Structure 1
Amino acid sequence: MQFNSLPISGFESVLAATTTEVTSVATGAEILDVSDDFFSPATDLLKVEPSVSMKGQFGPNGALFSGWESRRHNPDHDWVIIKLGPPSAFLKGFDIDTSFFSGNEAPAASVEGIYSPDAVPTNQSTWTPLIPKVPLGPHSRHLFTIPQTTEPYTHLRLRQYPDGGIARFRGYGIVSPIWGKQHSWDGDKPGQVDLAHAFNGGRCVYESDKHYGVGANLLLPGRGKDMGDGWETKRSRSAGHHDFVIIRLGAPGQIQRVDIDTLHYKGNFPAGVELHAINSPLEIPSLNVEEGWTQILSRTKVGPHEHHFHDIKVAEETVFTHVRMTIIPDGGVKRLRVYGTRAAPKPSESSSSTPATVAVPTTTPSSSSSVPTIAASPLTSSGFAPFGQVVQAFPDQSLAPRDIKVTSANGSTASKYHRLSIPRSTYPANSGAIQAFSCFRSEPPKGFGKLGGDSWLFESKMWERHPFTTQTFLPLGKDENGGLERGGEGMLVVVALNGKNDKPDVSTAKAFIASASQAITYDVGVWHHSVLSFVPTDFACLESQISTDGDRTEDCEIIQAKEGDVFVKVQVGETK
């Protein structure tokens, strides 16, 4: 078998930038069986964090170490069987790390693999040698590369001779994606996959800075466990600074939606984020954003500890191979999801540095396939900011928008979030408009779907706006004495900005899922669909009106689609 030792200096360029770590617990890798781990558990081998010294600490069985350590006097060897995190991978290299094991390190080790997607392999299974028995030294990393395997593997067996300790074991390779509805990952929808997901073959090929967390973390499954498993850069100290990562997609494709997740980043999230994409045969395209990159998301403000969903509007036939995320000026992002459809790249195509736009109707609905489809996202203050405000409390005060003042109230039994939404009325002084609360008892529209489970489409066939007033909807709880027997379960919010022709600009349309603990305020003149509750719900409504008869366009202007026409389609479903 062919293999080579790799100096530590070559790790970044040879393995880190070209492969995915497929044995990390962060990807779901796990220990299936072990011959002996008397002193230290084999599960330590797969930990994300480096091994640490535990000198002077003792447990029931002896001195403690961060790693796998078997008992002494084994006549031949010890072994451990590891299930890879991704479904399978083409392997390219390994890191056998004996950090802090000195005098009790494993003197030698070997690595073998097996492809067994439907059965759990055992020590008696037929294993394929990948790295022969090689010597190991104390307190050091041992890097090895092999020619990329021509067949994928699902499991690895690490053997140490005859016994001792290994701190960490890391296997690197190219993930072999399993495309199809039966294998969907975080947030995937029917016909739409996360092209950047690690399990779909996405890889981080470049990061400008990784002081507190590597770029590859952006592509991991799930949302992680703390601030340590995202991508975070050091604080910048110069004007105009920015950091960026480049992601090679698992397959060339058309990008339709992104999710920029800042979970756990509460005081260190970026001030802004922008995205570019390119179609390039290079592993790492030009680092100069002016050379061939297409802007797919202009600079956008993000908030702390939340999802930020954005629909991407580029020409439908445009195919990309890489995405570049720029954060301004620095900070941390937990995950980047790039949803779209796979497409075979056309060798003759080249990217333009000028963003391509899709033609979207701004005034006239259509019954054709050109009707835009937007995905409903969880309602957040930052996402809804172009259209109005969100009124809510927060489980952690640090999650409130920075411009919101929070004080103690009611004898320190409450926290008050000040001025989340300020009602406005721009009616002429002599109009007779009155600001007042009213109550809406809302029923779901006929055929309206439910939250959770399979996704479904809602066809929006109307718009309304209030030209002279804000309008706030506050869901009310359940009450058997005059109220509803069950509380609300939130509502679907569909909004659009006004266009140049004083009609809804459908290219700006967004959809949000508001929870039962969130109230919303539509800004003056913002186009929106009427209330869309998922279950019968009572809403308190604060607005200004001239008339209570619903006959004044100054109070509410409504546009209805013609029979058979649709303004916009909204994809609704469980959002992870």
Structure 2
Amino acid sequence: MSEPDFLALPDLASRALAGSVVYADDEFFAEKENLILPTEPVFDPALFGHKGKVYDGWETRRRRSPGEDAAIIRLGVPGVVRGVVVDTAFFRGNFPPQVAVDGAWIDDYPGTEDLVGAHWRPLVPDTAAEGDTRNLVAVADSVPVTHVRLRMIPDGGVARLRVHGEPTPDPTFLHGTVDLAAAENGGRVIDCSDLFYSSPANIIAPGRSRIMGEGWENARRREGGNDHVTVALAGPGTVDHVEIDTSYYIGNAPAAASLRGIARAEDLGHPERWVDLVPRTPLRPDCRHRFLVGPGPGPGFGSGPGQGHSAVDPVRFVRLDVFPDGGIARLRVHGRLSTEALDQLAARISQARHTGLIRP
């Protein structure tokens, strides 16, 4: 059985994107912060603490009165939720029989009282859950949210919550030059040739890569061709400069790379319509390479042999090709969103603020 399409979308709640579990009404056995750890849950059958068995997840005490337990997560990036994963890994006799997920658009940085009393919109209605299972549920709601509330009915334990969706960042902070590819600004990976060792989503993650495992590394290519990854930018924009970072890839960096762009989704399957932003250029191991993009003011413009001249503006999608294979730590595509893109983001957020999702 194939997995649902929403799993290809970024996890908006992930701690790696600065998501945070900001409230739980009970966390007697295991702390709420475990819910959004980017790592997979683990289990040590011999590990016990003063309160009982230690679980890698969020676990409440056995409820002896009516009600249900809830935790509230502030998303790292606001967005439209397309599906959730309520992972009850290793919770076998103590998982919740039902779960539900609600969403809200809540401006600013409210305290606990405002969060608990917010106007919550159902995203996932009361749904039967299974133990030691990734419970996958699609979401039909199309209004952006900043927070989600996980409810366990009535109590129990959940190892991880994944909130997959389409980023809808606040355009107030996207004026001027920004990283159009960054996940925190709304960029996302939509295609990749190979992800044998690690996810291509790592190349648009926040911050610098700290180890080789925090980038994108493919398998060694033994046949013709080359590996590549395609990123949908935060919106249509003008690209000013690009960074292709091979940090920590020393014996496995690509020999060369190129970056191309297109303006329309319908051109994704037509290689002849892609335009060079950074032509094929040799790369150094363990090195941050930076290239200017655009016509430039004259001779000497650009940084190194990979100087590009973009003939497509605005750019909506970029494709990074590595030759023939190898690891990339980060890809940064710095530029300016078009006025139309900023207006569209503002309209979606305005819709959220006018659908009963704000604080009373």
Find the counterpart in structure 1 of residue 222 from structure 2: 237
Q: Secondary structure at the match of 2:272?
A: coil
Distance verdict in 2 for CA 1:102–1:200, change over 3 Å: same
After superposition, what is the alpha-carbon deviation per residue over 1:497-542, rounded to whole angstroms, capped at 9, x for unaligned? xxxxxxxxxxxxxxxxxxxxxxxxxxxxxxxxxxxxxxxxxxxxxx
Q: Which residue type is aligned with residue 97 of structure 2? A: P
Verify the 8 A CA contact 1:254 1:316 in the aligned structure 2: no
Find the counterpart in structure 1 of residue 281 from structure 2: 300
Larger radius of gyration: 1
Greater helix content: 2
Point out which structure has higher relative CO (alpha carbons under 8 A, 6+ apart). Answer: 2
Q: TM-score, normalized by length of structure 1?
A: 0.53
For residue 291 of structure 1, the aligned residue among 247, 272, 293 is 272
Give, in whole Å, the separation in 2 of the partners of 1:54 and 1:237: 39
Give, in whole Å, the separation in 1 of the partners of 2:164 and 2:22: 19
Q: Secondary structure at the match of 1:122?
A: helix
For residue 117 of structure 2, the aligned residue among 124, 129, 132 is 124
Distance verdict in 2 for CA 1:236–1:23, change over 3 Å: same
For residue 210 of structure 1, the aligned residue among 172, 195, 200 is 195
Q: Which residue type is aligned with residue 94 of structure 1? A: V
Please list every run of 5 or more consecutive structure 1 residues that lacks an aligned counterpart in the other structure.
1-6, 185-189, 346-576
- Pair 1:43 & 2:28 matched: no
Find the counterpart in structure 2 of residue 142 from structure 1: 135
Give, in whole Å, the separation in 1 of the partners of 2:282 and 2:7: 30
In terms of mean alpha carbon deviation, does 299-308 or 164-173 score higher?
Answer: 299-308
After superposition, what is the alpha-carbon deviation per residue over 1:100-158, rounded to whole angstroms, capped at 9, x for unaligned? 211122221110111112142432333111111111111111111122423x2111110
For residue 89 of structure 2, the aligned residue among 74, 95, 99 is 99
After superposition, what is the alpha-carbon deviation per residue over 1:525-564, rounded to whole angstroms, capped at 9, x for unaligned? xxxxxxxxxxxxxxxxxxxxxxxxxxxxxxxxxxxxxxxx
Q: Secondary structure at the match of 1:253?
A: strand
Find the counterpart in structure 2 of residue 523 from structure 1: none
Give, in whole Å, the separation in 2 of the partners of 1:23 and 1:140: 19
Distance verdict in 2 for CA 1:123–1:231, change over 3 Å: same
Offset of residue 192 of structure 1: 1.7
Find the counterpart in structure 1 of residue 345 from structure 2: none
Distance verdict in 2 for CA 1:237–1:61, change over 3 Å: farther
Offset of residue 311 of structure 1: 0.9
After superposition, what is the alpha-carbon deviation per residue over 1:314-335, rounded to whole angstroms, capped at 9, x for unaligned? 2576322110001122222122
Q: Which residue type is aligned with residue 130 of structure 2? A: G
Verify the 8 A CA contact 1:74 1:162 in the aligned structure 2: no
Verify the 8 A CA contact 1:74 1:163 in the aligned structure 2: no
Superposed counterparts of 1:455-494, under 5 Å: none
Give, in whole Å, the separation in 1 of the partners of 2:310 and 2:116: 53
Find the counterpart in structure 1 of residue 302 from structure 2: none
Find the counterpart in structure 2 of residue 163 from structure 1: 155
Superposed counterparts of 1:325-364, under 5 Å: 325-343=320-338
Give, in whole Å, the separation in 2 of the partners of 1:225 and 1:258: 20
Offset of residue 166 of structure 1: 0.8
Q: Secondary structure at the match of 1:10?
A: coil
Find the counterpart in structure 2 of residue 319 from structure 1: 314
Q: Which residue type is aligned with residue 323 of structure 2? A: I
Q: Name the count of aligned residue pairs.
A: 323
Offset of residue 281 of structure 1: 2.8
Q: Secondary structure at the match of 2:115?
A: coil
Verify the 8 A CA contact 1:217 1:231 in the aligned structure 2: yes
Find the counterpart in structure 2 of residue 85 from structure 1: 76
For residue 198 of structure 1, the aligned residue among 183, 188, 200 is 183
Verify the 8 A CA contact 1:230 1:333 in the aligned structure 2: yes
Give, in whole Å, the separation in 2 of the partners of 1:343 and 1:317: 13
Q: Which residue type is aligned with residue 55 of structure 1? A: P
Give, in whole Å, the separation in 1 of the partners of 2:278 and 2:222: 26
Q: Secondary structure at the match of 1:199?
A: helix
Identity of aligned residues (%): 35
For residue 233 of structure 2, the aligned residue among 242, 249, 266 is 249
Verify the 8 A CA contact 2:202 2:215 in the aligned structure 1: yes
Superposed counterparts of 1:473-552, under 5 Å: none
After superposition, what is the alpha-carbon deviation per residue over 1:406-435, rounded to whole angstroms, capped at 9, x for unaligned? xxxxxxxxxxxxxxxxxxxxxxxxxxxxxx
Q: Which residue type is aligned with residue 122 of structure 1? A: L
Give, in whole Å, the separation in 2 of the partners of 1:78 and 1:114: 18
Q: Secondary structure at the match of 1:210?
A: coil
Distance verdict in 2 for CA 1:280–1:148, change over 3 Å: farther
Distance verdict in 2 for CA 1:61–1:328, change over 3 Å: farther
Distance verdict in 2 for CA 1:225–1:158, change over 3 Å: farther
Offset of residue 241 of structure 1: 4.0
Q: Which residue type is aligned with residue 144 of structure 1? A: V
Verify the 8 A CA contact 2:263 2:312 in the aligned structure 1: no
Verify the 8 A CA contact 1:278 1:293 in the aligned structure 2: yes
Q: Secondary structure at the match of 2:213?
A: helix
Give, in whole Å, the separation in 1 of the partners of 2:310 and 2:252: 34
Q: Secondary structure at the match of 1:258?
A: strand
Q: Which residue type is aligned with residue 249 of structure 2? A: Y
- Pair 1:228 & 2:226 matched: no
For residue 167 of structure 2, the aligned residue among 168, 175, 190 is 175
Verify the 8 A CA contact 2:35 2:57 in the aligned structure 1: yes
Give, in whole Å, the separation in 2 of the partners of 1:56 and 1:117: 44
Q: CA RMSD in A?
A: 2.3
Offset of residue 224 of structure 1: 4.3
Q: Which residue type is aligned with residue 179 of structure 1? A: P
Give, in whole Å, the separation in 2 of the partners of 1:328 and 1:53: 40
Superposed counterparts of 1:420-431, under 5 Å: none
